[in-house]
Amino acid sequence: MLRSKILSTGMYVPPNLFKNNDIAAMMDTSDEWIRQRTGIEQRYWVDENTSTSDLGVEAANRALKNAGIDKSEIDMIIVATLSPDHEFPGTACFVQKKLGLPGIAALDIRQQCTGFIYSLSIADQFIRSGTYKKILIVGAEVHSKGMDKTTRGRDVAVLFGDGAGAVVLGATVVKDAKTDSHILSTHIHADGTFADELWTQAPGTGNGKDRINEQDLLELRQYPKMNGKTVFVHAVKRMPETLLNALQVNSLTPEDIDLFVFHQANLRINDMIAKQFNIPEEKVFNTIQKYANTTAATIPIGLDEAVRAGKLKKGMLVASAAFGSGFTWGSAIYRW
């Protein structure tokens, strides 16, 4: 049967390292406060001349190199980001331009922290249908340019880092589903009832006469706002829910999974999921301590880190789950 598989991974973070104490110098917070509530120890932020597509291209080139293929073999580019280079066109077009791949399909996915799972699901369907053979998926974010880095905005600002992760997805003929590398299934969901519980209000056409005006700026609507309690409550419900669904669809149990690579929003969330499913600590690969929340980039960054650390090896069964703004959530199970 025709399926897709992850051929390679790649990641990139900018060189500017900001530890929690560096953040504490900007606002009323502390290393202890951040660690206890999130598990984050540090993050990387770009300089003023670096864009989301710049990070994405770096990760993409590393994924292409690791796949051992020429970039001309790529049939489609999917970029997941909530921090585009510009309002339009999509960031995938800028990634495409910088990679030198004119003519192929280029698509942006705006599903925030669930962006990589959505992208994987879309790419998997294109390959299963026989439409494309190789698809480049990039999750990339530059949060540092869009946050209120004062005490007023600390509840959000301490959480996010900049970075990019990429995978090359390729067509494969699966002869033995129990051993051959392939995407077993993906599961994507959303509930827009909670769209304004975690959002950036302006600029936007839903704000009245102007996309953004002086009043919007005075009321700081250009910065992200989050109802932290509501987001946490839904995350710890929806991520286990979609993970369980993915396991059941594939007639698997948590014990069958060799490695769990979850979205990295809060270490407490991932710890709660692991306890709920009785997952041993060594089976959960976390990167939030090093990179903070890079939204659409967290899972591909995690996959690349796990490969390079020797934690993710050929033949292993992997499960991922994510939850984010929208609200959106999703899961995927794949044989490495």
pLDDT digits (tens, 9 = 90+) for 8-17: 999 999 999 9
What pLDDT, on a 0 to 100 scale, did the predictor assign at position 215?
Answer: 93
- Using DSSP, state whether 292 is helix, strand or coil: coil
194 pLDDT tier (thresholds 50, 70, 90)? very high
What pLDDT, on a 0 to 100 scale, did the predictor assign at position 127?
Answer: 98
Task: Return d(Cα 200, Cα 225) in angstroms, integer.
Answer: 6
What pLDDT, on a 0 to 100 scale, did the predictor assign at position 169?
Answer: 98
Average pLDDT, the chain: 97
Q: Name the amino acid, one letter, at 206.
A: G
Q: Which one of 143, 234, 263, 270 is the catalytic residue?
A: 263
What pLDDT, on a 0 to 100 scale, did the predictor assign at position 312?
Answer: 98
pLDDT digits (tens, 9 = 90+) for 116-148: 999 999 999 999 999 999 999 999 999 999 999
**Which one of 3.30.230.70, 3.40.50.460, 3.40.47.10, 1.10.20.140 gives the CATH number of domain 2-173?**
3.40.47.10
Give every CB contact of residue 318 below 8 A, 6+ residues apart in sequence.
257, 258, 259, 260, 261, 303, 312, 333, 334, 335, 336
pLDDT digits (tens, 9 = 90+) for 257-282: 999 999 999 999 999 999 999 999 99
Residue 309 phi, psi (nearest 5): -85, -5
Where on the phi/psi map is residue 84: left (φ > 0), alpha (ψ -120 to 50), or beta? beta
pLDDT digits (tens, 9 = 90+) for 28-50: 999 999 999 999 999 999 999 99
- Respond yes or no: is residue 113 known to be catalytic: yes
What pLDDT, on a 0 to 100 scale, did the predictor assign at position 336?
Answer: 98
- Respond yes or no: is residue 234 known to be catalytic: no
Nearest to 270 by CA among 289, 251, 256: 289
Class of domain 182-335: alpha beta
pLDDT digits (tens, 9 = 90+) for 291-332: 999 999 999 999 999 999 999 999 999 999 999 999 999 999
Q: Which one of 20, 66, 93, 113 is the catalytic residue?
A: 113
Domain residue limits, the chain: 2-173, 182-335
pLDDT digits (tens, 9 = 90+) for 59-118: 999 999 999 999 999 999 999 999 999 999 999 999 999 999 999 999 999 999 999 999
What pLDDT, on a 0 to 100 scale, did the predictor assign at position 62?
Answer: 98
Sign of CA dihedral 207, 211, 212, 213: negative
Fold match flag (2-173 vs 182-335): yes
Task: Return d(Cα 167, Cα 10) in angstroms, integer.
Answer: 6
Task: Return d(Cα 187, Cα 334) in angstroms, integer.
Answer: 12
